[in-house]
């Protein structure tokens, strides 16, 4: 006799097996541990266990000045560092009431959208690797490499950018780099077309992803899931449209929305999102190219002397959804408390609800499609 999750005794004839998937497993994208109860290969219950990548990001902030904390912020989500940086910096800019120059706004938008593409590309490659396709990983990494090279030349680092500063950005973007970005965005469209040829209508891929891991609207809102996972359900919620920050008001782009959120539609959402980001990149580079002589990229605040007071919230529509950073300052150079609201954390909770009853191969197809990244969950 054994107890199920509700404490009800079940007969031992329904024999189950407990299996640990993770923390070291090829497809848990880092160090998530899933305690899965199986009956044969069917999943009865999944218990996600987090905390294997906990670095104490929030506690760390309390012993560091605002400036000292800045380079660390990129590491909260190492695949989309610009978003984390932006959430933190916009909270501080709210605290000290600064408005940043228009060129800095454009540069921030440009870098963030490119970051979105690079993160989605990595997700795409890894997701298909989870499903057993090996080549797409290399194709997406080839494109991602181009973005990372551009970032390296712009910021000095490939993933941990430390590029934004209080009141703007650290370095100006030069013409040669903008032309390279322009060239990249042209090549990228072709590359996406190639991925779609290879994958989107592939019957094997369709049988793997269609009709599995269905996330209902109610569940999505109850678990406060955001980002592409939510939009795939048909709820059009995107911070870039709902309360536009930076210069998203001036840009033309649409927010792709689906009808049913299953693994396949979540994949479609991300492919479409990459295309929209590409449009934004084009518009930003056009603007920056026509305003190349504008030199004002930051407001020259001395970051060493900021001692804000009060509380502020910085939020951004990151790759994986709504990313928020709440800062409670106390007038000294150290913050009282910093709280991060990271979208993957909320998506992790939903695994049990959406993957229950499916098989082990489906678990990978469902889990991968949620685009969960562990450093962001554990912080």
List of residues contacting another protein (CB under 8 A)? 17, 19, 25-27, 41, 63-65, 67-72, 128-135, 137-139, 142, 145, 152-157, 160, 162, 170-171, 194, 197-199, 201-205, 207-208, 304, 359-364
Phi, psi of 31 (to 5 degrees): -125, 40
Helical (H) or strand (E) element with 312: strand 309-318
Query: Can you tell me the distance from the alpha carbon of 221 to that of 248, in angstroms, rounded to the nearest whole number?
Result: 25
The DSSP letter of residue 210 is T
Shortest Å, Cβ 239 to another protein: 28
Shortest Å, Cβ 135 to another protein: 5
Q: Which is nearer to another protein, 46 or 230 (CB)?
A: 46
Shortest Å, Cβ 190 to another protein: 11
Residue 209: how many other CB atoms lie within 10 Å: 25
Own/partner long-range contacts of 54-58 (Cβ < 8 Å, ≥24 apart): 54/378, 54/379, 55/375, 55/378, 55/379, 56/379, 57/340, 57/379, 58/337, 58/338, 58/339, 58/340, 58/379
Among residues 146, 53, 12, which one has the least CA distance to residue 373? 53
CA distances from 108 to 10, 52, 115 (A): 57, 32, 10
Shortest Å, Cβ 128 to another protein: 6
Among residues 267, 116, 101, which one has the least CA distance to residue 198? 267
Q: Which is nearer to another protein, 85 or 348 (CB)?
A: 85
Q: Which is nearer to another protein, 139 or 245 (CB)?
A: 139
Q: Which is nearer to another protein, 17 or 292 (CB)?
A: 17
Q: Which is nearer to another protein, 38 or 87 (CB)?
A: 38
Shortest Å, Cβ 18 to another protein: 8
Q: Which is nearer to another protein, 201 or 249 (CB)?
A: 201
DSSP 3-state percent helix, strand, coil across the chain (nearest 5): 50, 15, 35
Shortest Å, Cβ 136 to another protein: 9
């Amino acid at each position: 006799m054994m107890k199920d999750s509700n404490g009800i005794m079940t007969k031992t004839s329904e024999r189950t097996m407990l299996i640990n998937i993770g923390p070291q497993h090829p497809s848990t994208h880092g160090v998530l541990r899933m305690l899965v109860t199986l009956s044969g290969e069917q999943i009865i219950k999944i218990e996600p266990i987090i905390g294997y990548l906990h670095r104490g990001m929030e506690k760390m902030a309390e012993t560091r000045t605002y400036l000292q904390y800045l380079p660390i912020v990129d590491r909260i989500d190492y695949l989309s560092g610009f978003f984390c940086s932006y959430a933190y910096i916009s909270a501080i800019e709210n605290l000290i009431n600064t408005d940043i120059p228009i060129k800095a706004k454009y540069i921030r938008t440009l870098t963030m959208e490119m970051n979105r593409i690079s993160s989605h590309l990595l997700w795409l490659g890894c997701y298909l690797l989870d499903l057993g396709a090996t080549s797409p990983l290399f194709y997406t990494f080839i494109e991602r490499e181009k973005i990372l090279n551009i970032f390296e030349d712009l910021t000095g680092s490939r993933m941990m950018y430390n590029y934004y500063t209080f009141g703007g950005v650290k370095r100006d973007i030069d013409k040669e780099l903008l032309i390279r970005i322009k060239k990249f965005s042209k090549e990228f469209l072709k590359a996406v077309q190639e991925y779609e040829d290879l994958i989107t209508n592939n019957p094997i891929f369709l049988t793997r992803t269609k009709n599995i891991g269905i996330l209902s609207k109610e569940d999505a809102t109850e678990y406060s899931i955001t980002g592409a996972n939510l939009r795939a359900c048909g709820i059009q919620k995107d911070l870039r449209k709902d309360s536009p920050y930076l210069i998203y008001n001036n840009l033309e782009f649409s927010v792709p929305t689906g009808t049913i959120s299953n693994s396949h539609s979540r994949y479609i959402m991300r492919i479409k999102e990459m295309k929209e980001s590409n449009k934004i990149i084009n518009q930003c580079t056009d603007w920056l190219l026509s305003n190349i002589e504008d030199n004002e990229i930051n407001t020259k605040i001395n970051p060493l002397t900021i001692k804000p007071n009060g509380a502020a919230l910085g939020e951004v529509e990151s790759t994986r959804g709504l990313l928020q950073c709440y800062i409670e300052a106390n007038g000294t150079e150290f913050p009282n408390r910093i709280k991060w609201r990271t979208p993957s954390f909320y998506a992790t909770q939903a695994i049990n609800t959406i993957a229950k009853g499916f098989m082990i191969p489906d678990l990978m197809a469902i889990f991968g499609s949620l685009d969960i990244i562990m450093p962001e969950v554990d912080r």
